[in-house]
Amino acid sequence: MSSNTMTLYLQVWRQKNSNEAGAFSNYEVANVSPDMSFLEMLDMLNEDLARQGLDPIQYDHDCREGICGACGVVINGEPHGPGKQTTTCELHMRNFKNGDAIVIEPWRVKAFAVLKDLAVDRSAYDKIIQAGGFIKVNYGNAPEANSLPVGKDVADLAMDMAACIGCGACAAACKNASAMLFAAAKISHLALLPQGQVERKKRAANMIKAMDELGFGNCTNQGLCEDACPKGININAIARLNREYLDSILTCNF
């Protein structure tokens, strides 16, 4: 083994499907470069398993650039691993050292069924969006740049909220498996902008209702969601969500 590479000892959650019980399996991975991403290390392990005629480990991924939100596993108890504001695909093996034992699990969220191994069904987030995270007004062609004036502070805050990629780390980190930070980000960025005003009164109520029906828990202000979020969504967004929700139930006739 090169002095610049590592040998790691992995405990990986293996589960055939949502209906069967899973268990941890132990693997040794040698010649891991510190410059590899975490997913590249899993690719290396899967190549070894394939050469042995064994079933590769299933995990979620797509862009591998921290943009799409498709990736995500719990690494040594931390969603996305030890890096801050980093997705699993952006996490590099230089965050570990030779001989480390690494425990790798899927998101542990009731609303996210395990499809296989580390891959989970996150369509519950899509259903929250469908419940109200959209705008229906047809604005026709793109308006002139200054026809919808938005203050810089508001625009910046809306863009910060729009940075949410829906990876699920917030729910995976929360002891209640709450999706409040995700819903708050989606509700906030639309509520702050003029295009989102038409549905604003009902949006929060509809999205929170969907969130509850899907089995997500409630927020108890632990702050673990903010800490796990790879895009740094601030927990203050949940306070904004609560204000939007209170306004909707006090002023709307559902």
Q: Say which CATH topology domain 6-115 has.
A: Ubiquitin-like (UB roll) (3.10.20)
Which candidate, 94, 120, 72, places its Cα nearest to that of 228? Answer: 72
Q: Where in the chain is the domain with CATH 1.10.1060.10?
A: 122-251
Q: Where in the chain is the domain with CATH 3.10.20.30?
A: 6-115
Distances (CA, A) of 32 to 82, 114, 136, 142, 167: 18, 28, 50, 49, 26
Whether the full predicted model's pTM is greater than 0.95, yes or no, is: no
The hierarchical CATH code for the domain 122-251 is 1.10.1060.10
Per-residue pLDDT of the chain (254 residues), as tens digits, is 456 899 999 999 999 999 999 999 999 999 999 999 999 999 999 999 999 999 999 999 999 999 999 999 999 999 999 989 999 999 999 999 999 999 999 999 999 999 999 999 999 999 999 998 777 766 667 667 667 788 889 989 999 999 999 999 999 999 999 999 999 999 999 999 888 888 888 899 999 999 999 999 999 999 999 999 999 999 999 999 999 999 888 887 65
| R_g (Cα) of the chain, nearest Å | 21
